[in-house]
Amino acid sequence: MIHPITLQQGTDWQAQAEVFEEIFFVFLALGTLVGIVVVSYTLWNVYKYRDDGSEPDADFDAPVVGELPTGQGGPKAKKLFLSFGLSAIVVISLVVYAYGLLLYVEDGPDTGEEGDIEITVEGYQFGWEFLYPNGHSEMNELVVPADKRIDLTVTSRDVWHNFGSSDLRIKSDAIPGETSETWFSVSSDEVAAQGGEATFRVECFELCGSGHSAMKGQITVIPQDEWDEWYANTEGDSESASVEDADPASDTDTSRVTGAAIGGVGA
């Protein structure tokens, strides 16, 4: 079931193969199965052993008020341990499996020589500021090129926010005084499929004050050439628009990396 997942930069990205969707599906399938088995088994037994008013079996040993529980050779617990063992195996293997994929998500895909784009995201009451390597900043809309791995460094200038996009399956805490990291990547196929410009909803996932509900933004992904043109026109030094040497703002060893890729994950 565990497949080595590699991200191929190129044209043959498979949009549906996301890490999250895969794990979610496996958990959902197994979870539903276990849930249904346990619940129906329980319901069936409860029905079977209902008190229908008939005479109790000869070996039915009714409890009495004031008895002490010990020394009465309570029913055997063998079955208990069998079911317990089975469920433990299910749970543990699920988590081990998910852990393998966590490592991938933490590292991010190998981007080859194309290089990354480093964006600093700063949450504030109530909006998002995106800071580009050339010093340009955008409010509430992040414009990035397709087929690039975008690295986000997330922080906050006031209270605790949480930067996330459900569509892209990315999320990261925006904590004052701390930086956390996440990444995403959108394929040009996806962009083409959405009509030359792919947009994704950005929301805040941590209560941050009266405007929390309205703290929305957008990630817009456009083809590389269009983006190059757009980026060159932003204020700031367009030389550093070659993002190769963009400095990773974070030097802390505690920062965290996570993310997922739309269409970036294939077999």
- Chain residues binding Cu ion by CB under 5 A are 161, 204, 208, 212, 215
Dihedral Cα 63, 64, 65, 66, nearest 10 deg: -90
Starting at the earlier edge strand, list the strands of the sheet with 149-156: 137-139, 127-131, 116-124, 149-156, 180-185, 257-259
Could you say whether residue 7 binds other proteins (CB under 8 A)? Answer: no
Interface positions, 104-163, toward other proteins (CB under 8 A) = 105-106, 125, 158-160, 162
Among 17, 124, 212, 240, contact with other proteins (rule: CB under 8 A): 212
Interface residue with other proteins among 2, 4, 247, 254 (CB under 8 A) is 254
Q: Whose Cβ is closer to other proteins: residue 147's or residue 173's? A: 173
Using CA atoms, how far apart are residues 184 and 147, in angstroms rounded to an integer? Answer: 10
What is the enclosing helix (H) or strand (E) of 123? strand 116-124
| Cβ 250 to other proteins shortest distance, Å | 9
CA distances from 235 to 58, 139, 218 (A): 90, 14, 21
Q: Residue 150 or 204: which CB sits closer to other proteins?
A: 204
- Radius of gyration, alpha carbons of the chain: 27
* C-beta closer to Cu ion: residue 191 or 215: 215
Of 215 and 241, nearer to Cu ion (C-beta) is: 215
CB of 223 to other proteins, least distance (A): 27
Q: Which of the choices Cu ion, other proteins, none does residue 44 contact, using the CB cut-off of 5 to 8 A by kind?
A: none
Rule CB under 8 A: choose which of 1, 11, 12, 49 binds other proteins: 49
- Residues that bind other proteins (rule: CB under 8 A) add up to a total of 87
The residues pairing with 127 across neighbouring beta strands, listed in sequence order, are: 124
Polymer length in residues for the chain: 267
Task: Tell me how far apart the alpha carbons of residues 213 and 235 are, in angstroms, rounded to a whole number.
Answer: 31
Using CB under 8 A, which of 1, 58, 77, 267 touches other proteins? 77
